[in-house]
Every structure is written in C-alpha cells, then in structure tokens.
Amino acid sequence: MNTAKDWTPGFIKPFVLILLLALGLVGCSSTKMAYRYADWGIVWWVEDYVTLTADQKQQLNSDIVQLRQWHCSAELPRYQAWLDELESDVSSNPPDKATVDYHQQQLFSFFPSLLEKATPVAVNLLSSLSDEQVQELANNMAQSQREMEDEFLADSPEATAEARAERTAERVEQWLGDLNSEQRDIVRQWSANRGEQTEIWLRGRRNWQLVLLELLEKRNAPTFEAELEYLILNSEEVRGEAYKVMMAESRAAMSSLMHELIMAGDRETLAQLQDRAVELNDDFAALTCSPA
C-alpha cells in the first residue's frame, strides 16, 4: 500500500493527481474537494514549471475535466471494490504475506489505465509549447532536480537512510496509525537495507526529464505523439536499467515491510487500517460523476 509518488514520471505528475488523492494522501474532506477541483489544482501545479497562455489553460482545464469524468465513472468503482476487499481482509485477523502482496498488486493495477488516458492531455499541452516555454520548462525542471537532491541526499549514506525512514514512516502511518517502537525499528532497518535507492531514483528521474526535453525539440513532428506515449507508459525503461532493478526490488521490499509492520502491531493497527479503507470508500461513494 505504497503511494504512486515515486513511480510517476516527473512532468506528468499532475495528470495522476486524481490517483494520488485516491490513495489517501490527503484527508477525508480534502479528498472530495480536491477531486472536484482537480482541474484548477493541476493547472496551478503545471505553472510551477511553465507559464501557460490563456488558450493553453483553457485547453488543459477542458482536458482535465474530461479525464476526471472518465476516472470518476470508470475507475472509482474499481477503487471501491478494492477497498471493500481490503476492509474484509483485515476485519478479523492480520493478513498473511500473500494477501498483502495481492493488495499491492491491486493498487498498482490502477496506474496503467490512468496514465494511458492522461497521455492525450500531455500531448495537447506539450505540443502547444513555444520555444520560450520549452526553455522555461527545462530551467525549472533542472532547478526542481537540484532541490530534490538537496532535500533527499544527506551528507552521509546513514543520514540519507534515516531521512528515507522518516518519509516511509509518515506514509505508512496514514494507513496504520502511529507506529510503535518495534515498528519504527523495522522501518529504520528496512530503509538502511535499501542501499542507493534514493540516488538511483533521482538519477532515473533526471534521465526521464532529459529524454522529454530532447523529444520536445521535435514536438511538431508526426511521431511526437507516439514517442511521448512511449515515454509516459514505459517510464521505467527510459529511466535506466538500474532504476528498473531498483523498482522491482523496492516493490517486493515494500510488501514485506507492510506485512512485518502489521504483524508487529496490535488490534489497533488492524482497526486503523480498516477504518482508513472505510473512510476512503465513503469519500468515493459521496463523489458524483458530474462536472465541477
């Protein structure tokens, strides 16, 4: 039950905002509000990278409204069915490792269809950029990369691992509640065993950005749409072999971590997990598939 954050291609991140909301990155009432106003939030996020014209904003708003409509009607029922299963599987006894693996697979199964549907949104936006906007995007992406490196890479591997442990604990606690001392020790050990995961993730992120910028130089070519679609849907391939290996290992390790944390918890841990599933399911049930 990890988040999508570390798997989302850098500049395409706003187009999976809806999914991030669905995975519980914000609170109950905020989830419903942010979902309804996702078009505004995405435009605001995109303009952190590149200043849009009025026409570009209008097109992006229209595209996001359509994307949200599809997502609300086609995908939210899938999320609700998954949350029903999760609620049932943790209602009485701690789930075994196979059950945790299954729910992680269910979670990741939501990504491809959303990325596929978001691709035309990205094509419309990126193909409309001027040379000046592409340069602005390149500058801001480079600055963002530097800021992330400064934030996530500490002075020593030990400090980097400790910071990673803190981030992991914060994400896990959204599902399991406050961790006890044994659970925090498990998270710290897990993080220490991740090696250069953070460094590989950052290098892969930069690799993807550089390929995107190269592709934008030929955004008027007839092959642009197909090449951008490949870049979005095959992000791990573009980010490099080290990234692919790291991600496969990380997903397996995260599933093991969640199982260990659940087993190291108590009845309150299971209750918190069940309550989180119910809370999100109630949020989704309250949303209507009509334009904002």
The Cα–Cα gap between 292 and 290 comes to 6
Residue 195 lies in domain: 55-287
* Distance from the Cα of residue 83 to its chain's centroid: 18
Domain assignment present for residue 34? The answer is no
Domain assignment present for residue 211? The answer is yes
Domain assignment present for residue 2? The answer is no
Q: What are phi and psi of 177, to 5 degrees?
A: 80, -175
- Pick from 6, 38, 7: which is nearest to 292 by CA? 38
Query: pTM, whole model, 2 decimals?
Result: 0.81
Domain assignment present for residue 8? The answer is no
Domain assignment present for residue 32? The answer is no
The Cα–Cα gap between 273 and 279 comes to 10
Domain assignment present for residue 149? The answer is yes
Q: What is the mean pLDDT of residues 105-130?
A: 89
| pLDDT, tens digit (0-9, with 9 covering 90-100), for 212-237 | 999 999 999 999 999 999 998 898 89
Which pLDDT score is estimated for 38? Answer: 65
Domain assignment present for residue 13? The answer is no
Helices (H), the chain: 17-22, 28-36, 38-46, 54-70, 76-89, 97-108, 111-127, 131-152, 157-176, 181-192, 197-216, 224-233, 235-239, 241-263, 267-286
The Cα–Cα gap between 56 and 130 comes to 11
Which pLDDT score is estimated for 283? Answer: 78
Total domain count, the chain:
1
Domain assignment present for residue 28? The answer is no
> Does residue 103 register a pLDDT over 60?
yes
Which pLDDT score is estimated for 115? Answer: 84
Q: What is the mean pLDDT of residues 245-256?
A: 91
| pLDDT, tens digit (0-9, with 9 covering 90-100), for 11-59 | 444 344 334 433 333 333 455 666 666 666 677 778 888 999 999 999 9
